[in-house]
Amino acid sequence: MKPIEPIQTGCPFCGTGCALSVECSGDSYKVKGDKTNPSTQGDLCFKPIQMAKALNDARITVPMYRKHKYEPFKPISWDEAIGIVAKNITSLPTEALYFYLSGQLLSEESYLFTKLIKGHLGTNNVDANSRLCMASAVVSHKMVFGSDGPVGNYRDIDDADVILISGSNPAWAHPVVFRRILARKKAHPQTLIITIDPIRTETAQKSDHWIGLHSGSDTTLYNALLAELYRRGKCDFEFIRRASQGFEKTLSEAMTLPYEEAIRLCGISSESAEILLDSLASEKKVVGFWCQGLNQATDGVMRNIGFINLFLSTGRLNAHKGCPISLTGQPNAMGGRETGYLSNALPGYRDVRNASHRTTCEHHWNLSPNHISPTPGMTINDAIDSILENKTKFLWVACTNPLITLPDVQKTQRALNHTDLFLVVQDCVMSQTASMANLILPTHSWGEKEGSMTNSERFIKRVRPFKQAPWGTKSDIEIICDVAKALGIAGFDYPDTASVFNEYKQLTSNRLCDQSTQDYDTLSYQWGGERLYSDEVFATASTKVQFHPIVSSSLSLGEKEFVLITGRTKKQWHTMTRTGLVGELLKDEEEPYLLMNGSEAQEMNIRQGDKIKISNALGSLELMVRFGDLAPKHLFSPFGYSSAPINTLVPAVHDPFSFQTAFKSAKVTLNKF
């Protein structure tokens, strides 16, 4: 008997984008790394290995409906469910509609949502949970390079002399990337790993140097380093002259604060600053990684640009001297950005504010001129306010759990429970958000549907099904197309997923994220090549890379206040709707906790394991204390636990450019029970 060939697919978790090989035997599935994939080379972490055990657990297999949220759900047919969605959309003005998507959707699904909502419905009132994790990186890429898109690739790790990690804990959040970093260290012990983070994370513990700066002082540190590099004559003035604009203004702002004072405000030693300066001033290859510690802030874009400025000023935008690389949070946040699912975007890294971009999409979708709105839609946080103001009356949520992930949980709960809001949730399990819906649309899950995803290094791979979906569920593509047809919209008859990709890829032709030459069946492709802008021709109007001055900032705390930082756990994924069903992934992570310095706890007569009350004006939570190493007056607690949702204490404040929420700087007080 001929053995069954393993099925090549992709991981549904972080933005590392690991390629998987799944061996199927009856109803059992053995997940391994796909060694033929050039991006992740067969490596993977434990989440997808264990996840295959719970694919059929807690599934919703029939549409569930209730007219009023206080009523019990009742099962209905798909025809009824699709009709209800269509009726609600047609009965309301477009400004009362809102759609909230996910970086866990496949690119073809995100594309069809964009085509339906921004194209045919003519509203840009759509956003995605990338607004919570990657929006600051998107805006900074566009401001500096002229387009979204991470510059480097994972292969830059393999010959790096210095690996600089700022505001990221890849040992937990991107474990395969971090293992590659450790492999470089093992093969080349002289390689320096430096982590800049208020928390001594597992990444910091395994680094050569942990620089525990005060939260919010990132821009102060970057400015201080830039100014000191200039004073020491260590900038790459030839690159700056040849390929950039804006350096003089950026430097002038950076030199506003005296170097010694800046380092003191950051809460780090002069020795730590010298380690950073020595690395950046050298001819060594320095590869920089960043993630949510820089993105999720009220000055997230400035933090991003400040970090990038250090690489630009030293000519580090190439294979020889290194480059900065943004780590993507979700498995297909990159693909969603390419397909245009954020509130101002269109497919192929286009923007709704650009008339020629709108015209291209209108022509491609057979729409009349001026059908696509030129005004960016509301971001998700503004949509929550709009619901509470009784302006937004219809919300369609796909493949995400905003009740737990958005800031100010109580405010979000009031909005989702609003009497006049009709809430549609498209998901495979009963999430906390789904439990508040009027209508639940049960979808196929990972392992049951197909499409493509793009990872943090711009590598696109196919996602293939390896099991049958539960009877009664539909794929996300089917649901989108069924609703479009119920609305009387033409152009949503696709015989298969390949036809969706083939339509979408045409909109990437001659764009930075060009995929137009790729074949769907054999899709395995890094758009832009190993490294973007290798010819030093950038996507800006002047074709030059742009320096931007950034204002130094720091966080002020009251005498009894602490700064609260949130983040992922090591084994669980976001709000645990799927990984929480797997015992092996829950081990040691069953309960939420609060990490604090032992010395500060001792002063408050708090012992490890004690339950304490953590509070601010938004509410309070009870959490068990664990001890760790953090910058003074800093705390850490993981998000995702519905029993104690830490975002209860995170205010809905955001960056003024990216509108990304500041999840890393809530102010709280502690009280022992």
Final residue of a domain: which of 514, 541, 571?
Answer: 514
592 and 488 share one domain: no
CA pair distance 584, 580, nearest whole angstrom: 9
Q: Is residue 295 included in any domain, yes or no?
A: yes
Q: Is residue 222 included in any domain, yes or no?
A: yes
Distances (CA, A) of 58 to 52, 64, 241, 580, 582: 14, 14, 59, 11, 11
The residue with tokens 């200039």 is 230
Residues with pLDDT less than 50, the chain: 1
CA pair distance 670, 608, nearest whole angstrom: 14
Q: Is residue 393 included in any domain, yes or no?
A: yes
CB 296 within 8 A of CB 660: yes
Q: Could you give the angle at the alpha carbon of 453 between the alpha carbons of 449 and 457, nearest 5°?
A: 160
427 and 566 share one domain: no
DSSP letters of 113-128?
HHIIIIIIS----EEE
Q: What is the CATH number of the domain that holds 214?
A: 3.40.228.10
Give strand pairing partners of 75: 64
292 and 416 share one domain: no
CB 334 within 8 A of CB 454: yes
CA pair distance 438, 66, nearest whole angstrom: 5
152 and 278 share one domain: yes
**Assessment of whether the complete model's pTM goes beyond 0.95:** yes
Give the 3-state secondary structure of residue 629: coil
Q: What is the CATH number of the domain that holds 429?
A: 3.40.50.740
Q: Is residue 286 included in any domain, yes or no?
A: yes
79 and 212 share one domain: no
CA pair distance 250, 257, nearest whole angstrom: 13
CA pair distance 527, 338, nearest whole angstrom: 11
Q: Is residue 627 included in any domain, yes or no?
A: yes
The pLDDT of residue 3: 59
Q: Is residue 217 included in any domain, yes or no?
A: yes
Give per-residue pLDDT as tens, 181-195: 999 999 999 999 999
170 and 299 share one domain: yes
322 and 340 share one domain: no
255 and 387 share one domain: no
Final residue of a domain: which of 295, 326, 357?
Answer: 326
Q: What is the CATH number of the domain that holds 633?
A: 2.40.40.20
Q: Is residue 588 included in any domain, yes or no?
A: yes
The pLDDT of residue 1: 44
Final residue of a domain: which of 262, 295, 326?
Answer: 326
Domain span at residue 290? Answer: 135-326
The pLDDT of residue 2: 56
Put the strands of the sheet holding 439-442 in their side by side order. 74-75, 64-65, 439-442, 422-427, 394-398, 97-101, 126-128
Question: How many domains does the chain divide into?
Answer: 3
CA pair distance 611, 436, nearest whole angstrom: 30
149 and 232 share one domain: yes
List CB contacts of 237: < 8 A, sequence separation 6 or more: none
Give per-residue pLDDT as tens, 276-303: 999 999 999 999 999 999 999 999 999 9
70 and 157 share one domain: no
285 and 433 share one domain: no
203 and 290 share one domain: yes
φ, ψ for residue 505, nearest 5 deg? -60, -25
Q: Is residue 310 included in any domain, yes or no?
A: yes
